[in-house]
Amino acid sequence: MPIMKELFLLGVGRAALREFYEQCGRARAIQDSLVMRLMRKNEGTQYGKDHDFKHIHSIQDFKKTIPITTYEDIKPYVDRAFHGMPAQLTIDKPIFFAMTSGTTGDPKYIPVTSESDR
């Protein structure tokens, strides 16, 4: 490999690694920000309405409002989305439904959106 290309890749690699380590130090803040962004984006969904997303303004609100959830809890929303009802779990339309292998019971369907597929 030519030396200039090697030096360029080495510099890009270092910058990427430095950014990765900086983000690791801010993981909690980044994750909290993502949760709040998803709350705002999906407050108009059926799940968001049923769980009062529009009144969740902090991670503490989220913890108090949203229960620990199993697949069985969200299955009615998944089923409705699977049958074409819009805005059940996410405002983004599912592009397909991934199916789990069902090793612990019946297979489960997971809606995949263009955003979640990135």
Q: How many helices (H) and strands (E) does the chain have?
A: 5, 2
Cβ atoms 69, 50 nearer than 8 A: no
Gyration radius from the chain CA atoms: 20
Residues 2-34 have pLDDT tens digits of 665 655 556 667 777 778 788 889 999 999 999
Tens of pLDDT, residue by residue, the chain (118 residues): 566 565 555 666 777 777 878 888 999 999 999 999 999 999 999 999 999 999 999 999 999 999 999 999 999 999 999 999 999 999 999 999 999 887 778 889 999 999 886 6
Produce one character per residue of 93-111: b if its CB has 16 or more CB atoms within 10 Å, e if not. Answer: ebeeeeeeeeeeeeebbbb
Please state whether the predicted TM-score (pTM) of the whole model is above 0.85.
no
Cβ atoms 86, 47 nearer than 8 A: no
